[in-house]
Amino acid sequence: MAFSRIATTKRWARIVAVVVALLVALGFVAIWIAGGRIAAPAQREVGPPPAGFVERTTVFTSGTAPSMAGWWFHADEPRATVLLLHALRGDRRAMVGRAQLLVDAGYDAVVIDLQAHGERHGGAITFGAKERDDVIEAVQLIRRTAPGRPIAIIGWSLGGAAAVLAGSLGVDAMVLESVYPTIDRAIANRLSMRAGSLGAAAAPLFTLQLPLRLGMSAAELRPIDKIGEIGCPLLVLSGEADPRTTAKETRSLFAEAAEPKRLELFPDAGHVDLLESDPMLWKAAVLSFLEEFLTHEGHSNL
């Protein structure tokens, strides 16, 4: 009898071990699939430029990427050119509202699709690592097309991260909207929103996929380590109630930037389009900043 009970106990222990192993394996498979979806391209047909603009569609190639698509919107007598960079899984159309405001204020506005977005080629979204090459190429294009004219960048979320990771671009001003400080925190915050502390605990399983999927490590996706190198006046915008990039994280990112710099937190705003959330605050903060640092008389590369 005792032998039979021992045998039964061992059999159940083996069954439990197999079930646990299967559940763990299924969990890893689910995390791997989820990671693939996060990095999957967000390509789509963008279509023609919006009506009402005097536009030129620009497509150019580089040694590091296939063709890039963008629109260049012209002001009557442009004082400067502003490059606009969209958020994760968006495309250049998301920045047209900002472009309209800038054109009305006397700036040329250039909007592009980042790699693996919109009509841009790319096998995977890389959270700023490859997208920074698009930023570099776009700045070079602007400089060739309008030599001597001041240049600014406005980057929203992914677009802002790509601009920071590009390092010193020699531009005259930069505006960052809702930019993550590190990819580790960006992933952990998003998983926490969906699964609480369990989601945050699973975050390392996503960052471990970066070398396998994208050929890079989490250490390469830390805008907080690069923001001090941008070499130009900086305006940082973020939502005070943003759960994806918290106000505390935004302040830590801002603290690492060199002067001159400004910080504007939007009351009650989450990880949203800040222009839509509070148009008056966005226009007041951004246009006054650009006016100060992009005038023909007073602009300078720091």
DSSP line for 222-285: -HHHHGGGS-S-EEEEEETT-SSS-HHHHHHHHHTSPSSEEEEEETT--SS-HHHH-HHHHHHH
Q: Write down the pLDDT at residue 18.
A: 73
**pLDDT for position 298:** 46
* Spatial separation of the C-alpha atoms in residues 44 and 292, rounded to whole Å: 37
Q: Report pTM.
A: 0.87
Distance CA 290, CA 6 (A): 78
Determine, yes or no, domain membership for 46.
no
**6 part of a folded domain:** no
Identify whether 106 is part of a domain. Answer: yes
Q: What pLDDT is stored for residue 2 in this prediction?
A: 59
pLDDT of residue 233: 98
Residue 235 within a domain? yes
The residue range of the domain holding 61 is: 52-181+221-293
Domains in the chain: how many in total? 1
Helices 96-104 and 279-293 cross at an angle (nearest 10°) of: 50
pLDDT given at position 208? 80
Cα-trace Rg, the chain: 23
Cα 228 to the chain's mean position, in Å? 17
Q: Is residue 196 part of a domain?
A: no
Q: Provide the pLDDT for residue 211.
A: 84
Quick check: 239 and 270 in contact, CB under 8 A?
A: yes
In a domain, 147, yes or no: yes
- The pLDDT, as a whole number, for residue 38 is 78
Cβ contact 250:112 at 8 Å: no
Show the tokens assigned to 129. 């690592």
Q: How confident is the chain (302 residues) per 10-residue block, as mean pLDDT?
A: 64 74 60 66 88 63 58 91 97 96 95 93 92 94 94 98 97 98 91 72 78 87 97 98 96 98 97 97 98 69 40
- Domain CATH number, residue 273: 3.40.50.1820
CA-CA distance, 128 to 159, in Å (whole number)?
7
- Residue 28 is assigned to a structural domain of this protein: no
281, part of any domain: yes
